[in-house]
A and B are shown apart, each in its own frame.
Chain A
Amino acid sequence: MSSESKEGEANKDPRDVVDDSCKGPFLFLAFSAIIWLLVYSIFSMLSGVKVHSYGMMVDTAWLSYGRIQPASQLALQYGFLVQLGLAISAWILSHRGKTVLVDGGYLYFGGLIWNVGVTLGFVGILSGGISGLEGLQMPVHVIPILLTGYVLVGVSLVQTNNRRTDEQMSPAQWFLFTATLWLPWILGSAYLLIYYFKAKGVMANIVDWWFMQNFSKVYLTFIALGVCSHFFSLSNSYRLIGRGYALFAFWILLLFGSIGGVSLAAPVPAWLPALSTVTSVFYFIGIVSIWYVLYHMQNGASAEDNISLMRLGLIVFGVVSILNFLFAFPMMGKSAEFTTFGPSIELLFNLGFVGLVLLASFYYIFPHMVKFGLSPKITKIQNIIFILGFMIASLPSALGGLMSGDAVLGSGFYFSSVGDLFLVFASLLLFLNFLYAIIMSIKTCDCLSQLFSKEQAKEVEA
C-alpha cells in the first residue's frame, strides 16, 4: 500500500524527522516479526500434518507433535505478535507524541536480545526443554533473556512517551503505554513465582493461567486497541468521540482483564473459576464500551485498504469477545471444555484480530520508511490469503470441537491444516514482498546505507 497519508504531505518536515528516527528499529523488529510469522505458519502446518499422517517423521524426537505445537505457539506469540507490536508501538508513540524516538539504539539492542531469547526458546522446546506450562512453554533460562530484551525496548518506548509534546495523552497512548509496562511485569512475576519461589503443585498452574489471561486479555488486546484507535482517529484529526467512554473502557478492561482465566473444572479452590466467570462478565462491559467508541471513530476514518483491514479485525474481535463471554458461563463452557474450540478461538484472536490489525498498520507505516513500497498487488493477494487462512484454520475446528466433544478429533481438524497451508503462502508472500522492497530501496537510493552507518554508530553508543 503505497498511498501517502494526506497529513504527511501537509507538514512534511517534522513527520519525516520522526519517521527517520524510527526507521531502523522499526524495520529490524518488523522484519524479524515477519520471519517468525513464517516460522509459525510452517511449524503449525507441520503439527497438523503430523496428526493426520500416521508414521510420518516418527524417528526424530524433535519433530514430534508435542514439541512442534508449543514451539509454533512461541513463534506466533513472542516472535510475531509481541515483536511487531513493539515496532508499531514505537512508531505510534513517537508520532502521537510528536517527538523523535528516544534512544533508538536500545531498540536494536533489545530487539536483538529478544530475538535471541525467542530463538533459544524455540530451539529449546524442539530439543525437549518444555516447561509443561501452557503459556510459558519456553525453557526456564530463556525467560530472563526475553525480559532483558523487552526491558531495553521498553525503556526507549517509555522515554519516548515521556517526551511527548502534548501533556494530555490520547487513548492510543494510554493503551500502548500501559501494554508496554504490563508485559515485563507479568512475565517477571510469573518467572519469579514459578521458578524462584517454586510455586507448589497447582499453584504453578494458577500462576500460568493468570499469566496467559494477562497476556491475551490485557497485553495483546491493549496493543491492538491502541493501534486501532490511533489509525481510526488519524483522519478525524485527533478528535476523539466519547473520551469518557474510552477511559471507562480502559480501566474496566485493565482491571477485569487482569483477573481470571481459570477454566471451569480446574482442580483448584472453587472460587477461582467462579471469580473468572464474574470478571469475564465485567470485562465484556469494557469490550462493549470500547467497541462503541471505536465504531464511532471508524465512521470518520478513510476507506483505505488498511483501515478496512482494521475494521475486519475489529469485527473478529467482537465475535471472539462475544464467544468468550458466552463460554465463560458453566452451561456453555462445559460443552467446549478440553475440545479444540478453545485453541481455535485463541488462534482467531491472535491472528484475526491482533495479527491483522498489526499487519494493517505495518502496511500503512512501511511506505513512510522506505522509498520503494510493498507491491500493492501482492499485498492484496497476500491479505486475502491471510484472511482466508486464519478463518479456515480456526472456524471449522472450533465448530468441530463443539460438535464432537473432547478426545475426538472432528473433521474440523483437517480443515485447519488447509488454513495453515494458506497461512504459509500468505506469510511467504509477505516475507518476499518485504525483502524485495528493502532490496529495491537499497538499490534505488542510499537511504538504507545511511541508516546502517547510523545504526552502527548507535550500537557503539549503546
Chain B
Amino acid sequence: MTIGLSFIMGLVAASVSYFMLSLWWPVAIILGIAVWLAFGLFGLKMDSAFTLLSGAILVFCISLSVMIMRSSDQLSGLQYADTVDETGTEFRYPVPLLGNAPSGERVYRSHGCAACHTQHVTHEGVEFDIKALASEKNHSAVKEAVNRFYQVTGNPASGGIALGLPVGEWETVALGVSVSDAAKARGFLSSAGASVDVQVRFNGEDLEKDNFSNPDGRGWGKRRSVARDYLFVERPMLGSVRIGPDLSNVGTRLNRSTLMRLLLDPKSIRRNSKMPQHRFLFDVVKESNEKGIITIRNKDEQVFYKPTKEAEALVDYLLSLKSANYPLEEAPVYQPFTSSLPKPEEAKKEMEEKTGDEGSDTK
C-alpha cells in the first residue's frame, strides 16, 4: 500500500480510537502511527485471510461496544420518575400496563399495527421567552444588562423595553430565543439584580397545537418521547413509517366507542380514512340488545357487530397509551410564565433557579 493511503488508514485508526472508543489521546496517536507504519513501511498485508478475519472480528467488537454496550450502560440505570397528571396529582411514571392491556399489546403486535402507526413523538426545538422585573434600585443596571444582551445576541429591542424599562412591571425581554441565548439573558439580568421569568415552549408538528408558537401542531403529545417512556415495554413498537397518526397518546384523544368503530369501520368516523377495517376482530350477532354492539348500516339492512375479546383487549391497550403527556426531567412540557400566575414567592424562586437550561422542569 502507498504511504499516502496508509497515512489515511492511520488517521482513521487514531480518530476511531479517540472519538469512538474514547481512548486517552496519546494512546490514540500512538495507535495511529503504529497503523501507518505497519501498512506503509512494513507492508503488512491487509488482504491476507488472517488480517481479514482478525480485522473483521475487531471491527465487529468495536461496533458492538460502541453502539450496544455504551447505550446499554447508559440506559440500564433508567428508573421510575415522579411526574404529575392533568389534575396535579403526583405519581410514579411510567405505569406498567394493567388488566387487559398486556394482552391488548399482544394483539396490537400480532396484527402489525406498527406497520402504519408509530408510537414515538418528536419535537423540532425548544424556544424560550424571557421576562424581567426591575425595581427602583437596580433599574439602570438592568437596562444596561438588557442592552448588553441585545448586543451579544443581535436581537433588536422591542416593546416596553425599547421605550425604557418600566419600573415594577414585568416586561418581555426576549421572545423565541435558543437555549444558549436564554442562559445568557438569565445570567446578565440576574447579575444586574432583576427578577427573571422564563417561559419554555416546544415546537414541532407532532406536539400540541398552539396558535402562537406551534400553529401546525397535530396534538399527538405534549412533549417528545424519551427512552423512559418505554421502560416497561418489551420490544417497543416504535414504528418507522406513519401511514396513520402516531398513537403514543391516543388514549387521551379518543374514547372507547370511537376506537371500536375505528377498528370495525374507519370510514364511519372519517370519510376519507385510509385505515383498513379490522372486521375479523368482531363477531356478527343477530340483535343489538347487549351493550357495546355496533350497528353498521349497509344500504337497507343493518348488521350488528359484537367486539371479540381481542378487540376489547386491544382497545384497553389503546386507551392506556398516554405516554407523551406527562412532564419528565429530560422532557419537560410547555411551561408558561409563572409571573402572570398568582404563585407563592418561594415557588417562583425555585423555578428561577431551575430554568435556563433545556433539561429543566418545574412541577
Residues of chain A whose beta carbon lies under 8 Å from any beta carbon of chain B: 50-51, 54-55, 58-61, 64-67, 69-70, 125, 128-134, 161-162, 167-169, 174, 177-178, 181-182, 185, 189, 193-194, 198-207, 210, 214, 244-245, 247-248, 251-252, 254-255, 258-260, 263, 265-269, 272, 275, 282, 334, 337-340, 342-343, 405-407, 409
Contact yes or no, A339 B72, CB < 8 A: no
Contact yes or no, A177 B113, CB < 8 A: no
Known: A69-B112, A407-B242. Contact between A258 and B63, CB under 8 A? yes
Distance between Cα atoms of A247 and B48 in the complex (Å) = 11
Known: A199-B72, A269-B75, A343-B241. Contact between A58 and B60, CB under 8 A? no
Distance between Cα atoms of A275 and B227 in the complex (Å) = 17
- What's the least CB distance linking B94 to chain A, in Å? 9
A210 contact set on B, CB distance < 8 A? 63, 67-68
Contact yes or no, B229 A267, CB < 8 A: yes
Contact yes or no, A201 B236, CB < 8 A: yes
Known: A202-B230, A206-B67, A268-B71. Contact between A51 and B274, CB under 8 A? yes
Identify which of B46, B76, B123 gathers the most chain A CB atoms within 10 Å of its CB: B46
Distance between Cα atoms of A134 and B238 in the complex (Å) = 9
Residue of A nearest to B229 (CB): A267
Contact yes or no, A342 B240, CB < 8 A: yes
Known: A244-B2, A259-B66. Contact between A65 and B231, CB under 8 A? no
Interface residues of B in 264-282 (CB under 8 A from A): 267, 273-274, 276-281
Contact yes or no, B60 A161, CB < 8 A: no
Stretch at the interface among B8-16, B181-189, B251-259: B8-16
Residue of A nearest to B264 (CB): A58
- What's the least CB distance linking B246 to chain A, in Å? 8
Contact yes or no, B240 A407, CB < 8 A: no
Q: B276: which of A65, A169, A339 is its contact (CB, 8 Å)?
A: A65
Provide the B44-68 mask, 1 if CB < 8 A to any CB of A, else 0: 0111110011011001101110111
A337 contact set on B, CB distance < 8 A? 122
Q: Residue B162 at the A interface, CB < 8 A?
A: no
Q: Residue B348 at the A interface, CB < 8 A?
A: no
Contact yes or no, B47 A54, CB < 8 A: no
Q: B120: which of A201, A267, A340, A409 is its contact (CB, 8 Å)?
A: A267
Contact yes or no, A268 B227, CB < 8 A: yes
Q: Residue B174 at the A interface, CB < 8 A?
A: no
Known: A132-B237, A342-B241. Contact between A254 and B71, CB under 8 A? no
25 pairs, A vs B, C-beta closer than 8 Å = A54-B267, A66-B113, A66-B114, A125-B112, A132-B235, A167-B48, A177-B52, A189-B68, A201-B232, A201-B236, A202-B230, A203-B76, A247-B5, A251-B9, A255-B16, A255-B63, A258-B59, A265-B120, A269-B71, A272-B67, A275-B67, A337-B122, A340-B243, A406-B241, A407-B242
Q: Residue B234 at the A interface, CB < 8 A?
A: yes
A201 contact set on B, CB distance < 8 A? 75, 78, 227, 230-233, 236
B60 contact set on A, CB distance < 8 A? 182, 185, 258
Contact yes or no, B242 A202, CB < 8 A: no
- Seed contacts A129-B110, A245-B5, A337-B122; 17 additional CB < 8 Å A-B pairs: A51-B243, A51-B276, A64-B111, A65-B116, A65-B276, A201-B230, A205-B238, A210-B63, A214-B63, A251-B12, A255-B16, A259-B62, A265-B120, A269-B227, A340-B241, A340-B243, A407-B218
- What's the least CB distance linking A127 to chain B, in Å? 8
Q: B47: which of A174, A193, A203 is its contact (CB, 8 Å)?
A: A174
The 3 closest A-B pairs by CB, nearest first: A66-B112, A128-B110, A265-B122
Q: Residue B224 at the A interface, CB < 8 A?
A: yes
Interface residues of B in 12-50 (CB under 8 A from A): 12, 16, 20, 45-49
Contact yes or no, A133 B235, CB < 8 A: yes
Contact yes or no, A247 B72, CB < 8 A: no
- What's the least CB distance linking A67 to chain B, in Å? 5
Contact yes or no, A247 B47, CB < 8 A: yes
Distance between Cα atoms of A214 and B230 in the complex (Å) = 24
Contact yes or no, B53 A203, CB < 8 A: no
Distance between Cα atoms of A96 and B205 in the complex (Å) = 54
- What's the least CB distance linking A210 to chain B, in Å? 5
Known: A247-B47, A258-B63. Contact between A200 and B231, CB under 8 A? yes
Residue of A nearest to B1 (CB): A244
Known: A65-B116, A337-B122. Contact between A247 and B1, CB under 8 A? yes
Contact yes or no, B68 A206, CB < 8 A: yes
- What's the least CB distance linking A321 to chain B, in Å? 19
Identify which of B120, B218, B281 gathers the most chain A CB atoms within 10 Å of its CB: B120
Q: Residue B115 at the A interface, CB < 8 A?
A: yes
Q: B242: which of A64, A130, A338 is its contact (CB, 8 Å)?
A: A338
Distance between Cα atoms of A306 and B16 in the complex (Å) = 39
Distance between Cα atoms of A260 and B66 in the complex (Å) = 10
- What's the least CB distance linking B93 to chain A, in Å? 13
Contact yes or no, B49 A272, CB < 8 A: no
Distance between Cα atoms of A24 and B235 in the complex (Å) = 41
B176 contact set on A, CB distance < 8 A? none
Interface residues of B in 52-103 (CB under 8 A from A): 52-53, 55-56, 59-60, 62-64, 66-68, 71-72, 74-76, 78
Contact yes or no, B116 A267, CB < 8 A: no
Distance between Cα atoms of A405 and B278 in the complex (Å) = 26
Q: B277: which of A54, A193, A206 is its contact (CB, 8 Å)?
A: A54
A67 contact set on B, CB distance < 8 A? 110-112
Contact yes or no, B111 A266, CB < 8 A: no
A60 contact set on B, CB distance < 8 A? 280
Q: Residue B244 at the A interface, CB < 8 A?
A: yes
A258 contact set on B, CB distance < 8 A? 59-60, 62-63
Q: Residue B249 at the A interface, CB < 8 A?
A: no
- What's the least CB distance linking A90 to chain B, in Å? 17
- What's the least CB distance linking A187 to chain B, in Å? 12
Identify which of B49, B53, B124 gathers the most chain A CB atoms within 10 Å of its CB: B49
Contact yes or no, B75 A202, CB < 8 A: yes
Q: A203: which of B75, B124, B245 is its contact (CB, 8 Å)?
A: B75
Q: Residue B148 at the A interface, CB < 8 A?
A: no
Provide the B162-178 mask, 1 if CB < 8 A to any CB of A, else 0: 00000000000000000
Q: Residue B355 at the A interface, CB < 8 A?
A: no
Q: Residue B225 at the A interface, CB < 8 A?
A: yes
Contact yes or no, A130 B49, CB < 8 A: no
A189 contact set on B, CB distance < 8 A? 64, 68
